A = this chain, B = another copy of it.
């Protein structure tokens, strides 16, 4: 992981469909050398993949919320993430230090769907929940790609 690798990663974070030809010109390396480095970055897991970034509202997911979750029985074995994995509305699941055990980020279309989701979270994971609704998103998913 040298400066060239960091440069490649930064470029691909900014434009995931950039061609290896352009990438080579950008960083001053031959197409095949860039190709080889990208492959190794993928093999090492530095680059986890490439994805399209979608406007959630365009998919009818206008409501984002954070849900903090705490097991009702603190003595029970903690398999909360496994119990929530099938709920596709749950985009992120973080295990956290603090009063609550997990923070979830969820996206739904309507308040009614949020209500239904909260019920499913509580029964699936046997947890109590505390919900914080997102009003707007000044910025999101900014990726630091280099130092």
Which residues of A come within 8 Å of B, CB atoms? 1, 6, 9, 12-17, 44-55, 58-61, 64, 66, 81, 85, 88-98, 103, 107, 132-145, 147
A139 and B139 CA atoms in complex are apart in Å by 21
Q: Told that A12-B52, A92-B141 touch, could you supply 19 new A-B pairs with CB distance under 8 A?
A: A13-B52, A14-B51, A15-B50, A16-B50, A45-B58, A46-B58, A48-B54, A54-B143, A54-B145, A66-B94, A81-B138, A88-B142, A88-B144, A92-B137, A94-B135, A94-B140, A95-B138, A97-B134, A103-B132
Distance from A73 Cβ to chain B, minimum over Cβ atoms (Å): 19
Q: Which of B44, B45, B53, B91 contacts A48 (CB 8 A)?
A: B53
A77 and B96 CA atoms in complex are apart in Å by 32
